[in-house]
Structure 1
Amino acid sequence: MTQAVPMVELWRGGLLESMHRGHAVICNDAGEIIEAWGDPGRVIYPRSSCKMLQALPLVESGAADAVGLPPELLALSCASHQGAALHVGAVRNWLSGLNIAESDLRCGAHEPYDRDERDRLIRADERPCQYHNNCSGKHAGMLTWTRHMKAGPEYVDPDHPLQRAIRTAFEEVTEESSPGYGIDGCSAPNFATTVSGLARAMAFFAAAPESGTARHRAAHRLTRAMAHFPEYVAGEGRACTLLMRAMGGRVAIKTGAEAVFVAIVPEKRLGIAVKIEDGNSRASEAVIAALLVRVGALDPAHPVLSRYVNTHQRNWRGIETGSIRLASGLF
């Protein structure tokens, strides 16, 4: 079996201190691998990188249009957001407009990642609620589908009609039978696939036309929603938001837990998937940024690259202590 390859290095004092190994695949719109590193057949959980796949039933079923979801809420349905006021307010208003209560969510509550919202909760002596969960937009979309299809309330159950619809869509766009699922941090099933299957799915989204089948139209709309509303997909200061802004709404990208990252590049009709073996996101961010440059989607002179690729580390006194570099000869 092909092994993971060195992808990102941490250097300190002239010595290689740490190494991140991983896998990456670039697929074209025919589903063919055009470049690969490591093992394209490595089976992974895509985690939150596949939220646009999980949102396909929401759009292709007509549920999104039935309640008039605008593009920014379609982007939010694919989000791993910060729990900022923007995100919390949007999810609250979305569900209250459908007379769906916060208690109907099944994602659970956690402290928001957004510092301003976290501090507001502390000052107000309030506890975080499920709206603050970084997956609450995805779950709002799932509840919208459930309401539209008159399905039962336990929409995260793997045997629920929604999860069966998601699995069908997932397997059809990856062009692989999923070997199984794990339960994600937000309690929803996360279906496994290969790195190449995930890249193939992203290429499907990249090539999906505005007209065509319901699935093509859904994929096209979700891609554009993400690319045009990156602040809803992640939040201020996040790699997804900053890199999508740097590409001016032309490309959609999405991170996932345990260092998975994907990109949808419509202009090139390409899909990209990255998995770092040790789960470190500093490496997946560096690799996805480098691959976006490689395929011509991101300007190599754009200043955002200095945050992720061949960047310098500094300590609390501002002294340069090391550097994070792409592995020699990789890209």
Structure 2
Amino acid sequence: MSYPIIARDFRNHTLENTHQGVICIVNEDKETIYEKGDMEKSFFYRSAMKPLQAIPVFMSNVIEKYHLTAEETALFMASQRGEKYHEETLISLREKLDVDEKDLVCASSYPLNEKPKLEYVRANKSKRRLLHNCAGKHLGFLGYTKGKGLGIAGYEQLDHPLQQEIVHYLSEMSEVPVEEIVSGTDGCGVPVHAVPMKNMALSYLKFAVPELINDEKLRNAVVHIGEVMNAHPNIIASHDFVCSVLLKDSNIIAKGGAQGVYCLALRKEKISIALKVLSGTELIWPLLIAEILKKINYRNEETISNLLQLRSENIVNDDGKMVGETKIYL
């Protein structure tokens, strides 16, 4: 299938890049109110799945049992980038859960953000698993398996009880039968799943409209996840990143994933948006999401303005001089 163009980059009025994509917006009645591209093609959530992967932890007593703060708990949904506040919170969380860092299956990493990475390199500090972008999610997995008395070994395998529970809740949230969910392995080594774009949007709709969830315990867990994410937006990504900008708006629940996937839902408007940039780039996210919010006449202009401060339509060179522009096609 030929996918529609959602953005083009021009340098000196000459086409440089073309970005195809898929966008779906659903309302509280689960109706598609806007679509671009193939709604039936399945795409992997990548890290946009983290709020869904955290559901078993939030339905357990892990948070209360280990006296976790909301900031520590936010790491379960985070794609943290190694800032000092991330590292300190990760260390505190690991200590409270009393798990061994070597049991995390994610690879050893330097901080992702440039400043803390340079500080690590200059100080001759080694990479560590606790600094992996997904370490918080893995700590949540280990805390859950420990609290449930499940074996830690193999927690990254699809047949592990934890991973099967995640698939069950993904099916509930996305309304895709378990047998139709496509599974793969994420960059951090654990299972990640793919569903059609409309169903991806439906799964996030329930974070904004939790009354769509019949199971009270599941509904309460989903509400709690959203509250934690909004309370600690910089933990979810870091300052000056799309997720953090959106989550500072208490009306929005949002999380991005690798390779161009982004999901967000609006509580007052009771709508959800899922998108995939097929080039895999994240660079156009701020501009694309800002244009979508404008299209639906979103009233919080500050949120739109903050997104455009991350990336405007102007393309600039290393010296800050405007040399081109990005155009969005909705």
Fold shared per TM-score above 0.5: yes
The DSSP-based 3-state class of the residue aligned with 2:176 is coil
Q: Which runs of 5+ in 1 are unaligned?
A: none
Equivalent residue, structure 2, for 1:14: 13
Tell me if the contact between 2:207 and 2:253 (Cα under 8 Å) persists in the aligned partners.
no
Q: What are the residue-to-residue correspondences of 1:69-88 with 2, within 5 Å?
A: 69-88=68-87
Identity of counterpart residues, as a percentage? Answer: 26
Equivalent residue, structure 2, for 1:276: 277
Aligned counterpart for 1:243 among listed residues 225, 236, 246: 246
Tell me if the contact between 1:102 and 1:130 (Cα under 8 Å) persists in the aligned partners.
yes
Equivalent residue, structure 1, for 2:144: 145
| Separation in 1, partners of 2:104, 2:171 | 26
- The Cα shift of 1:211 comes to 11
Equivalent residue, structure 2, for 1:321: 323
Aligned counterpart for 1:226 among listed residues 229, 244, 253: 229
| Separation in 1, partners of 2:68, 2:29 | 31
Question: What do residues 124-170 of structure 1 show as CA deviations (whole Å, max 9, x unaligned)?
Answer: 21112011101011111111111111111121111111000000001
Alignment root-mean-square deviation, CA: 2.0
Q: What are the residue-to-residue correspondences of 1:130-141 with 2, within 5 Å?
A: 130-141=129-140
Equivalent residue, structure 2, for 1:156: 156
TM-score (structure 1 length as normaliser): 0.92
Equivalent residue, structure 2, for 1:259: 260
Tell me if the contact between 1:112 and 1:118 (Cα under 8 Å) persists in the aligned partners.
yes
- The Cα shift of 1:214 comes to 0.8
> In structure 2, do the counterparts of structure 1 residues 305 and 88 end up closer, same or farther at CA, with 3 Å as the change threshold?
closer
Equivalent residue, structure 1, for 2:175: 175
- The Cα shift of 1:104 comes to 1.7
Question: What do residues 264-316 of structure 1 show as CA deviations (whole Å, max 9, x unaligned)?
Answer: 21122222100011111123333223223333446346532434665211112
Tell me if the contact between 2:57 and 2:140 (Cα under 8 Å) persists in the aligned partners.
yes
- The Cα shift of 1:60 comes to 1.4
Tell me if the contact between 1:310 and 1:325 (Cα under 8 Å) persists in the aligned partners.
no
Tell me if the contact between 2:287 and 2:313 (Cα under 8 Å) persists in the aligned partners.
no
| Separation in 1, partners of 2:317, 2:277 | 25
The DSSP-based 3-state class of the residue aligned with 1:271 is strand
> In structure 2, do the counterparts of structure 1 residues 146 and 24 end up closer, same or farther at CA, with 3 Å as the change threshold?
same
Tell me if the contact between 2:183 and 2:193 (Cα under 8 Å) persists in the aligned partners.
yes
The DSSP-based 3-state class of the residue aligned with 1:192 is strand
Equivalent residue, structure 2, for 1:95: 94
- The Cα shift of 1:40 comes to 1.2
Equivalent residue, structure 2, for 1:201: 203
| Separation in 1, partners of 2:97, 2:324 | 51
**Count of residue pairs the alignment pairs up:** 325
Equivalent residue, structure 2, for 1:185: 187
The DSSP-based 3-state class of the residue aligned with 2:77 is coil
Question: What do residues 90-145 of structure 1 show as CA deviations (whole Å, max 9, x unaligned)?
Answer: 11111111221111211121221123321222232111201110101111111111
* Alignment-mate amino acid for residue 58 of structure 2: V
| Separation in 2, partners of 1:167, 1:208 | 19
The DSSP-based 3-state class of the residue aligned with 1:317 is coil
| Separation in 1, partners of 2:309, 2:28 | 30
Q: Which runs of 5+ in 2 are unaligned?
A: none
| Separation in 2, partners of 1:150, 1:30 | 40
Question: What do residues 209-268 of structure 1 show as CA deviations (whole Å, max 9, x unaligned)?
Answer: 5997111011111112112211010002211112333x2x22121110000000021122
TM-score (structure 2 length as normaliser): 0.92
Equivalent residue, structure 2, for 1:42: 41
> In structure 2, do the counterparts of structure 1 residues 284 and 130 end up closer, same or farther at CA, with 3 Å as the change threshold?
same
Matched, 1:67 2:66: yes
Equivalent residue, structure 1, for 2:292: 291
| Separation in 2, partners of 1:298, 1:147 | 45
